[in-house]
Amino acid sequence: MDGMVDSRVKPGKLVRPSREEAMKAVRTLLAWAGDDPSREGLIDTPKRVVDAFGEWFSGYEANPEKELSRTFEDVQGYDDLVVLKDIEVESHCEHHMAPILGKAFVAYAPKDKVVGISKIARVVEIYSKRFQTQETMTQQIAESLSRALDPAGVAVMIDAAHQCMTTRGVHHRQVTTVTTSFLGSFRDDPVLQDRFLRLVGR
């Protein structure tokens, strides 16, 4: 893999199955659910599921630090917040493999360099396209930005609905989960935290 390995996966311990082995596993799950994997409507489902997994979990193949490696130091004296709102979050719960769907809000206070705003959205995408807990994902995004940009502070908030809660279990469809991570000046200054929350409409 070219990307940064998830810190929860021990290097050298992961043996990735072949595509055929993955499709066989899907056939097993279809049969376990009570259907016939060989019937017309399901015959190509294993291929489609494996292709979908390749898209849903492409974050394992990507490196967030690489995305943030190109920065710009000519900021013309700009020293206020950079805020991105409503970044789409499409992730999957590591407990039930169910979708986590929501929005991310990211801010940083630059010191002497900035990064292209699309790169910040890309970092959110990379971490979301892995099996996750929302708490861990929020912290990973904040720490990645802090390491790469060395800003005065970073703030990240994610507001998302967990399909493991809306489509199974307690079936509460209107509940969303909000998580935050404040680093540097955002952690130390409640006024700055409040400004961030007001800027993102929370």
* Residues acting as catalytic residues: 93-96, 134, 162, 164
Mapping DSSP to helix (H, G, I), strand (E, B) and coil, where does residue 183 land? strand
What tokens does 31 get? Answer: 């049969």
Q: At 116, is the secondary structure helix, strand, or coil?
A: coil
Strands 153-162 and 177-184: antiparallel
Residues 6+ apart with CB under 8 A from 150: 111, 113
Q: Phi, psi at residue 68, to the nearest 5°? A: -95, 5
